[in-house]
Structure formats: C-alpha cells, structure tokens
Amino acid sequence: MIYFFFKAGFKKIQFNFEAIDIVHYIKYFIDELSWDFEEQDIKVQCKVDVDTNELVIVDREKLKRVLVNIIQNSLKHMKKGEKIIRFSVVERGHNIEIEINDYGDGIDPASLPYIFDRFYRADSARNTVTGGSGLGLAIAKQIISEHGGEIWAASEIGKGTSIFFTLRYAKK
Ligand SMILES: Nc1ncnc2c1ncn2[C@@H]1O[C@H](COP(=O)(O)OP(=O)(O)OP(=O)(O)O)[C@@H](O)[C@H]1O
Ligand SMILES: [Mg+2]
C-alpha cells in the first residue's frame, strides 16, 4: 500500500484541509491508542503550552499517518528500559510546534541528516532486526510539507529521539 502511495505520485493525492483544534486532536489520538500503549507497557505524557485556542490547518487523516509513522518508530526502538513517549505542543509565532520524544536507543549523528530520505535506514547493527523499508519518515515529511510545515529530528544514542514538526495557525 505504501509503495502504491509513492508510485501513484504524491502530488496527485487529495488533501482535505480543515481548521481544527490541534490540542484536542492530539489528546483524542493518544486516547484512541491508550489500550495499545497500556498493552505494551508504554507511558504516554502530553504537555501543552499554548495559551490560545487558535485553529490549525490540518488534513486529519494525513496527520494521523504522520503521528502513527513517528510512534511506530519509537515503539521499534524502545526495547530496553523504561518506555515513555512524550508529546509536547508549543506555540512558535505563526506556527504550532509538536514534539514527539521517546526514550529509545537513539540515532547516531552520522545518520541523523538522512532519516527523512526515502528508503533510508540507519544501518547500524541494532536496527537490522527491526524490519521496515525506510519510508515512514519520508511520507511524514511529504505530508508535513504539503501542510506548509517543517519536520526535523534531534537524537542522542542511548538517550532517545525527538521528532519535531510545525503546522500553521489558521488566522495568525
Ligand atoms: N524513534 C527512533 N529511534 C531510533 N531510530 C529511529 C527513530 N525513528 C527513526 N529512526 C531511524 O530512522 C530510519 C528511518 O525511519 P523510517 O520510519 O523512515 O523507516 P523505517 O522505520 O526503517 O521503515 P518503515 O517506516 O518504512 O517501516 C530508521 O530505519 C531508523 O534507523
Ligand atoms: Mg518507520
């Protein structure tokens, strides 16, 4: 299905943009997955630091794909120790910035610039058993770009990874 996504040409894919309350959306998303998180013994935290209820322009379905792709990676790379995923939502001028942080095994600095490239997988031994085709973050990047936002990562080996992305406020 994912391959079809690219073969069909991403630009032809229809986006249905709506102005939504992003904080509500993210909380709902976490709620929906709470059973899965519990089952896998994963603690989920959500920190919201926005003082307005401004709406954000989003395609709900596509944004869900972004969140799922990011979280799937966190789940794959949090095999040892405490499993915590932290969401944080902050205001950054005309944008809202969302961070998804995990306590996973991290990404080495040499690989970090390439993780959003299609088919790229950090080729360290610790990743060889995790499967995957290296498309999850490339798709996330395409979707965020179509929203007029940016996506990037920060990571430290042994500490964990943060994926950040921005979305535009509807009115500001
Ligand atoms: N949270 C994370 N912790 C550690 N490494 C990560 C994390 N997220 C991404 N990576 C690294 O970035 C690479 C690219 O991620 P991406 O989601 O695009 O591909 P994938 O997970 O390998 O495959 P797919 O998502 O198509 O199943 C991964 O192979 C992995 O090496
Ligand atoms: Mg992935």
Range of the domain at 98: 2-168
If one counts the domains in the chain, the total is: 1
| Average pLDDT rounded to a whole number, residues 112-125 | 83
Residue 152 CB–ligand 1 contact under 6 Å = no
32 pLDDT more than 60: yes
Atom 12 (ligand 1): residue with closest C-alpha? 115
What pLDDT is attached to residue 172?
A: 56
2 pLDDT more than 60: no
Average pLDDT of the chain is 88
User: Which range has the worst mean pLDDT, 43-52, 61-70, 139-148?
Assistant: 43-52
| Average pLDDT rounded to a whole number, residues 24-50 | 93
Closest ligand, as measured to the CA of 137: 1
DSSP 135: -
What pLDDT is attached to residue 125?
A: 45
Q: Which of 95, 18, 102 is nearest to 62 (CA)?
A: 18
Residue 37 CB–ligand 1 contact under 6 Å = no
Phi, psi dihedral angles at 125 (to 5 degrees): -55, -35
Atom 7 (ligand 1): residue with closest C-alpha? 73
Provide the CATH number for the domain around residue 107: 3.30.565.10
Tens of pLDDT, residues 73-91? 999 999 877 899 999 999 9
First vs last Cα of the chain: how many Å apart? 37
Percent of the chain at pLDDT > 90 equals: 72
Residue 132 CB–ligand 1 contact under 6 Å = yes
pTM of the model: 0.91
133 pLDDT more than 80: yes
- The answer for residues whose C-beta is within 8 angstroms of residue 102's C-beta and 6 or more apart is 73, 74, 77, 78, 84, 85, 86, 160, 161, 162
Tens of pLDDT, residues 151-162? 999 999 999 999
Q: How far is the CA of 95 from the centre of ligand 2 (A)?
A: 25
| Average pLDDT rounded to a whole number, residues 111-131 | 77
Q: How far is the CA of 137 from the centre of ligand 1 (A)?
A: 7
Q: Residue 9 in 3-state DSSP? A: coil
Q: Which residue has the higher pLDDT, 128 or 55?
A: 55
Can you tell me the distance from the alpha carbon of 23 to that of 40, in angstroms, rounded to the nearest whole number? Answer: 24
Q: Which atom of ligand 1 is nearest to the CA of 102?
A: 1
